[in-house]
Amino acid sequence: MGGPENLRLIVAGAAVLTLALVVDLGPGVALTGYFGLGPLILAAACPPLITAGIGGLTVIVAILSGLWDHRFGTQPHIAAIILVLVQSAIAVYICVYRDRQRSKLHRVQAVAEVAQRALLPAVPGQLDGAGFAARYLSAAQEASVGGDLYEVVPTANGIRVIIGDVRGKGLPAVRLASVVLGAFREAAVTWLDPEQVAAACARAVGREAGPEDFVTALVLDIHPDGRLGMCSAGHHPPRLVSADGSATLELRSPSPPLGLAERFTVTTAHWEIGDRLLLFTDGLIEARDAQRRFFPLDDRLDLLRGGGQDEALDRLIAAVGTHAGGALHDDLAILLAERQPVPIVAPTAKTAPTARVAAD
């Protein structure tokens, strides 16, 4: 709970207690039994020790109230004191229970973070011919991992990338995402063509998924000479952010998602040094504002120009958060690749062997 919300609860609790006390001071009015509402409201914001102290003070005030309303020691006065005592005890219990639940939530979040690092390790910042940056945002505030996935794998012929989105949420989606990533990591260094990699991932999904499960995915091959090979399984095409404008790379005959198809078509393209390629999942373009309007990605691609790749992604995420009012309705994975010059390694000069002449 945020600081301003805590402050509002504390002010509300103090106001209720003060109002009941002021009214109780009036002639012919006895509101002692309502004094316990103050600690009950404060229990939502204050720690147990402070709540217990305020509750104890409230009980003392309830006892002393019998002096000014001339009911001290009477049965209604004693009943009101018992009621305030019970309310204060309940308030302390609420604090203790809340702190325990908060501790459990923190442990769950810690486990989710470990699972995310295992499922989605950090992408390499730079490989031969390309640089990378990635972000993952979960729509569930209590967890940091879901069914979206991405991976970057260097191979002998270039760099292979996958980004995907598992249908559904929760642990079943996480499990299926791990199946796809495992299949991709193996197939990326085994098969020559991207459609073969996509087919291997599709077979893995077919073995593990339920009858209504599927995964949208995009397999991307990045070659050192600037060639791109893309294989879409029902996934959104990437956005190319270049110096002379922004464009969508049109996918030729995109195939159905993994789990619904096992044959895929490759689209080839080319990018120049300095160009950036944005890969993303549904959570980006389906983020809605208060009027239910989708995030206008194609109108905001200028955010990805200039600065480092991490800085560019931070600007894009900030824009999405502002558009959606800080509340995502779907998990979001984005990966930004930038073509960079391939480092030229100078050949090592070989020293000719020295001839050895034997003396006669």
Query: Whole-angstrom Cα distance, residue 201 to residue 213?
Result: 14
User: 31 falls in which pLDDT band (50, 70, 90)?
Assistant: low
Instruction: Return the pLDDT at 27.
Output: 52
pLDDT of 267: 92
Question: Tokens standing for 303?
Answer: 């955010």
Per DSSP, the three-state class of 115 is helix
The predicted-structure confidence for 253-285, as pLDDT tens digits, reads as follows: 778 999 888 899 999 999 999 999 999 999 999
> How is residue 27 annotated by DSSP?
T
Residues 122 and 312: their CA atoms lie apart, in Å, by 17
Read off the pLDDT of residues 142-172 as tens digits, 9 standing for 90 and up: 455 668 899 999 998 899 999 999 987 767 7
Helix (H, G, I), strand (E, B) or coil at 190: coil
Instruction: Please say if the pLDDT value at position 354 is more than 50.
Output: no
C-alpha atoms less than 13 angstroms from C-alpha of 6 in its C-beta half-sphere: 6
Residue-averaged pLDDT of the chain: 81
**What's the predicted TM-score (pTM) here?**
0.68
121-339 adopts what CATH topology? Phosphatase 2c; domain 1 (3.60.40)
* pLDDT-derived band at 120, boundaries 50, 70, 90: confident
Where residue 141 falls (left for φ over 0; alpha for ψ -120 to 50; beta otherwise) is alpha
- DSSP secondary-structure letter at 14? H
| Residue 197: per-residue pLDDT | 96
Contact 145, 115 (CB under 8 A): yes
Evaluate if residue 33 carries a pLDDT over 70: no
Residue entry with tokens 């959570």: 283
Greatest CA separation for the chain: 135
pLDDT tens digits along 311-344: 999 999 999 999 988 777 788 899 999 999 876 6
| Residue-level pLDDT at 348 | 54
- What is d(CA 137, CA 122) in angstroms, rounded to the nearest whole number? 14
Tokens standing for 110? 């810690």
Range list of H helices, 156-269:
170-188, 194-208
Residue type at 114 in one-letter notation: V
Q: What confidence score (pLDDT) does residue 184 get?
A: 96
Out of 101-105, 107-111, 219-223, 325-329, least confident range: 107-111
